[in-house]
Structure 1
């Protein structure tokens, strides 16, 4: 099939590259000419495991990029909207980019004779596809949805760092269509994909809610684990021992039960906030979801409290921050727990040395005054304490490097340092254990 993908960010680039790998002819649409040129040159605009290879393999063949909506839509049968849906100042979803993309697609569809299907893949709150995107498409195109063109909602369930694998090996594919024909067209795209479970065919608002319920539940498991961990810390109990046994219950499962500095990234914080905003908009107070966010926002500050308990006031003290990405396997710093930690350290007058295998450059755009190092060894040299914020595998192998520290205090936010097996003696503190 011929596919156009609006937006060359994380979801859009992965979607485009994977669809090209499946044999479809894909055109990426992006207003950023630099991203367009990168894709056409076989270079990924984002860092994601396995993505570089796919783009290199298909650029100039099944995969192309342009900034011209009309030519891309005319040369495709189906268009995915994969643009950002950030939070506004109040935590509610900002649909301004979705609106712009929908208008541009609508104008392009208006000049096309063939039936075209628009698929919203961006994460949006329930009712957005039907009550926001569809009316914009109809007004811009002068055509009727379900008759002259199709509309569908196809949420993504991609883990950053494993996104290519997840796209090609999904545990479920959800298609929420306004009409059967639109759903059939979208379903046909995935003919070559082996899905663990059967395809879920439903309406758009249910598909939208499935995505939010999914992410909110996982975020809730994390905040619950952190709440238990904070209690365990005060009772001198190893929360990891507790949650390991809790996870043996088949009704619960062991996933997302690791206590630590909290969750981040482009999905969980934003999606939970958006769902709470939608809930309040319709007159429901989401007490549990509000608590999930509150626990998560407090966790990074606990790292600073533990640090001050160990070394006192932070002014003019050199502190190492290991890990800047919100999780391993990515360079994404959005909602990373390192951001509030670094902000707290700077506020308290600390001097910061930081290292991340992939995210130094992105974090430097946020905090230019931090000393970004090329290795953990360099970052630890002569520092008075270390905060471990991301669970990169290379941090598991640190040992003699801690001997370079002026004061060997390590506050671990991810349970990644094998402190009991270290040859180097350190003053080790776990955030929840």
Structure 2
């Protein structure tokens, strides 16, 4: 089929490239001319494992192209995917101006029947609004289908081809069948429902996973107070099939483009519907507190941080992505600078993006070792493989005071103790100055 994808962020670009990989002819639309030129040359604007190679092969095969012209993409298109951003407003609601802009372009340039497929995460009722908005400005026949994405940044390509399900929300069986046919080569289970339920599935899924993360982080805090080890607790919990093992890793909270935005939006949606979603408000409160955890641990250990040099290892909100949206490193760096510390930061991929959002006072290093050299202590913030694989003796050799605050529980307690490192992680016993667990 001929498919247009509007928006080339994480969702749009991965969607467009993946659809071309399974044999469709895909044209992706973006208003940024320089970005489009780079993509047409096979250069991905985002870091996502496996994406660049797939882009190049499908451009070469003639199945994938990029344009700034909506008209060119929409001509004879069987489906038009909306994959633009829905950023969070100050009040927590989703900003739908980009959705409305795309709807206007569809109405202006639609030449024949097409299925409009909404990939963007939108509040319940938005697809009905898109339907009425487009219909107001065109007499050309079309249908709107909700087809939410469930991709994890850092493994989005893998998830596209190995997902749990494809959700298709439509009030017209014929339109749903078109989207099912488009996705059939992926070989994934298809779940069809009405359009509003599909919209809700996306928000409810992300909110539940965020709840699971905040729950285990609360358990971690309790484990520290009671002398238990959250890793053992989570492992024991996860063996219960009703609970499952995933999203039970204690740490310094969730970030990125989805969980913070979607939990906040669902709270706002609930309020507008007359329901106080108290559970989700608590989830957000726990996460906000968790992102400051390492600073609190450092203050407890040292008292004042003024004049100290703190190395931050890992800046992106998670490994295998350069995304800095809602990253814990932003909060931690701001708190450290306010406390009078000098911050030296390192990330294998995200430094350029980090420079746009971290305080100007932060300095950057070209390697983990360079960041650690001469620092008084370090915060482990993102669990990149190269950070997890550091020889524990490196901390002893490079830091003036071998004190490590690990927000991702990257290192084994016994290994750190044997290396002579003072070590504090999340929900596990700390290793004090004398190598004593406490």
Partner of 1:62: 63
Would you say 1:139 and 2:136 are equivalent positions?
A: yes
C-alpha displacement at 1:348, in angstroms?
A: 1.2
Would you say 1:330 and 2:321 are equivalent positions?
A: yes
CA deviation vs aligned residue, 1:223-271 (integer Å, no higher than 9, x gap): 0000111111111211111111111111101111111100111111111
| 1:306/1:431 contact within 8 Å kept | no
CA distance in 2, matches of 1:34, 1:230: 47
| 1:27/1:63 contact within 8 Å kept | yes
Partner of 1:312: 303
Partner of 1:372: 364
CA distance in 2, matches of 1:107, 1:136: 11
Partner of 2:431: none
Q: Which runs of 4+ in 1 moved over 3 A?
A: none
The alignment's TM-score, normalised by the length of structure 2, stands at 0.94
Partner of 1:126: 124
C-alpha displacement at 1:294, in angstroms?
A: 0.4
| 2:131/2:143 contact within 8 Å kept | no
C-alpha displacement at 1:400, in angstroms?
A: 2.8
Would you say 1:290 and 2:281 are equivalent positions?
A: yes
Would you say 1:349 and 2:349 are equivalent positions?
A: no
CA distance in 1, matches of 2:297, 2:326: 21
Partner of 2:271: 280
Would you say 1:430 and 2:422 are equivalent positions?
A: no
The alignment's TM-score, normalised by the length of structure 1, stands at 0.95
C-alpha displacement at 1:339, in angstroms?
A: 1.1
| 1:352/1:371 contact within 8 Å kept | yes
Partner of 2:410: 416
- Secondary structure at 2:208's aligned position in 1? helix
Would you say 1:249 and 2:240 are equivalent positions?
A: yes
CA distance in 2, matches of 1:281, 1:347: 37
C-alpha displacement at 1:401, in angstroms?
A: 2.0
Partner of 1:260: 251
CA distance in 1, matches of 2:303, 2:199: 48
- Secondary structure at 1:191's aligned position in 2? helix
CA distance in 1, matches of 2:253, 2:106: 38
Q: Indicate which of 176, 179, 191 corresponds to 2:172.
A: 179
Partner of 1:98: 99
- Secondary structure at 1:428's aligned position in 2? strand
CA distance in 2, matches of 1:355, 1:8: 27
C-alpha displacement at 1:156, in angstroms?
A: 0.5
The answer to which of 360-369 and 207-216 deviates more is: 360-369
C-alpha displacement at 1:140, in angstroms?
A: 2.7
The answer to which of 365-374 and 9-18 deviates more is: 365-374
The answer to which of 66-75 and 2-11 deviates more is: 66-75
| Count, aligned residues | 423
| 1:216/1:272 contact within 8 Å kept | yes
- Secondary structure at 1:5's aligned position in 2? strand
Partner of 1:201: 192
Q: Indicate which of 142, 151, 156 corresponds to 2:149.
A: 156
| 2:5/2:80 contact within 8 Å kept | yes
CA distance in 2, matches of 1:371, 1:189: 48
CA distance in 1, matches of 2:279, 2:357: 31
